[in-house]
Every structure is written in structure tokens, then in C-alpha cells.
Amino acid sequence: MGGDHGVVDGDHRAPRLAHGILGPVTKPPHEQLIRRILGPNFLELKLSRLVIEELDGSTVVKVTALEGEQSVDVEGKGVGLVDALYAGLLDRYAREYQSLKTIQLTGFELAADIGTKKAQAGVDAVGRVMLDVTNSEGRHFTFTDSSRSVTTSTARAVLAMVQYFVNAERAFLTLHNARRDALSRGREDLVARYTAEMAEVVESTSYADVIASIRKELG
């Protein structure tokens, strides 16, 4: 299950170098902050098993994912792997994390690192999947994964996308609760800190009623 995965925010996308060699993936600017805020409550999603079926022009995906150490089965149906898997993940997570419903897919790209091929034909080369999305504010994010399996990397990129926005929403709400507690205790130093961190994290969220309400409260 190796391979690199992450998110690129804004225009900082995975650069391409000469002769089909892929450059490094830029780390998302708020990931470290989100991980620090959530600590052990950070949701890690890892692909364990993937089954794909093509039925009457539709794609049915059955995925076993790991939420930390807990095994979770997800099934979705759609047009192609990305659509089907995202539909299944929305069914599981979007009722609690409504911001997922406002994420829009804007691009999908596959690039090969020809220098990694083992056979002369090069069809076994490592490929990097790049999944572009925008949030409700029009900010761009690119989720990437590299391996010798396009389907596996595609599934892991979709999981990385869901993981990122779920944790961004969680972190924003966690900061809101911490800020409210600091206000009640008259800790203006903490109020200022949490307010500044909320201003950063909100850039990585998308529209949800609860987030909009808090943003309105903050002015």
C-alpha cells in the first residue's frame, strides 16, 4: 500500500520535470495545523480493499477502508471510479460533515514517471493520479497519489480528499468550541490565538450551515 499522497492548495500543483519524471508533491499549508488541533481525533483514512464492477454503464465500487484501526465498508455507484467512490463516501460521511456536499471535482489527470518502468513497453511505470477540486469559495486543491496501479492510486486520492475536508471541518469546530470556552474564562490571549487559527483553517473548509453560522458570528 505504498505511494505518496497529499494535497496541493492553490496553484502549487505537482511540478513536472524533464523526460517524464515527476516532481515532488507540495504539502498542504494547513495540514500541520489541523493535525495539531485535532491530535488523536484526526481521522486517518487508508485503503484496505478495492473491488470494482462495471454494470449496465455504471460503476459499482466496494471499498474496505481503515478509520485508524477500525475497518469500514463503503459501497457506491456512479459514472466511473471517482464518481462511484465519492458517492459511497458521501453516503457515509456527508450527513455529519455537510461541507463534503459542496466540494466540486474540476479535473482528473494521470502522469507517468517513465524512468520507473521495468518493462520496455513502459506500461508498468509508476503513475501519479492528480484529482483537482474546488471548495465553495473557489479555492483549488489537488489530491495526489503515486503507484503502479492507477485504480489504487485513484481510490487513495479520493480518500485523501475526503479525509482532508472532514478534518478541516472538525478542526474549525474544535477551535470554535475552544474559543467560546476561552471567552467564558476571560482568556483574551487564547481568544486571539483561536480566532487567528480559525481564520487559517476556514480556508480549507467548504460551505456548511454550521460553518457559515460561525463565520457570521465572528463577523
Whether the CB-CB separation of 41 and 163 falls below 8 Å is answered with: no
Which residue matches cell numbers 457559515?
A: 212
pTM over 0.75: yes
Q: How far apart are CA 83 and CA 174, in angstroms?
A: 30
Q: What class does CATH assign to 5-41+102-172?
A: alpha beta
* 3-state secondary structure (DSSP) of residue 154: helix
Say which residues have a Cβ less than 8 Å from residue 55's Cβ, sequence separation at least 6: none
Whether the CB-CB separation of 142 and 131 falls below 8 Å is answered with: yes
* Separation in Å, CA 58 to CA 79, 87, 108, 135, 153: 5, 12, 19, 26, 20
- pLDDT, position 126: 79
- pLDDT, position 10: 36
- pLDDT, position 21: 39
Q: What are the strands of the beta sheet with 45-55, ordered from one edge? A: 45-55, 58-67, 70-78
- pLDDT, position 24: 40
Residue of 190, 13, 170 whose CA lies nearest to 99: 170
DSSP string, 35-77: HHHHGGGPPPEEEEEEEEEEETTEEEEEEEEEETTEEEEEEEE
Whether the CB-CB separation of 137 and 123 falls below 8 Å is answered with: no
Q: What are the strands of the beta sheet with 5-9, ordered from one edge? A: 5-9, 140-147, 126-134, 104-113
* 3-state secondary structure (DSSP) of residue 20: helix
Give domain limits for the chain: 5-41+102-172
- pLDDT, position 110: 83
Say which residues have a Cβ less than 8 Å from residue 15's Cβ, sequence separation at least 6: 23, 24
The one-digit pLDDT tens for each residue of the chain (219 residues) are: 334 443 333 333 444 433 343 444 445 668 999 999 999 999 999 999 999 999 888 999 999 999 988 999 999 999 999 999 999 999 999 999 999 999 999 999 888 765 665 655 445 677 888 999 999 999 999 898 888 888 899 999 999 999 999 999 999 999 999 999 999 999 999 999 999 999 999 999 999 999 999 998 887
Whether the CB-CB separation of 28 and 165 falls below 8 Å is answered with: no
The upper half-sphere exposure of residue 15, i.e. CA atoms within 13 Å in the direction of its Cβ, equals 7
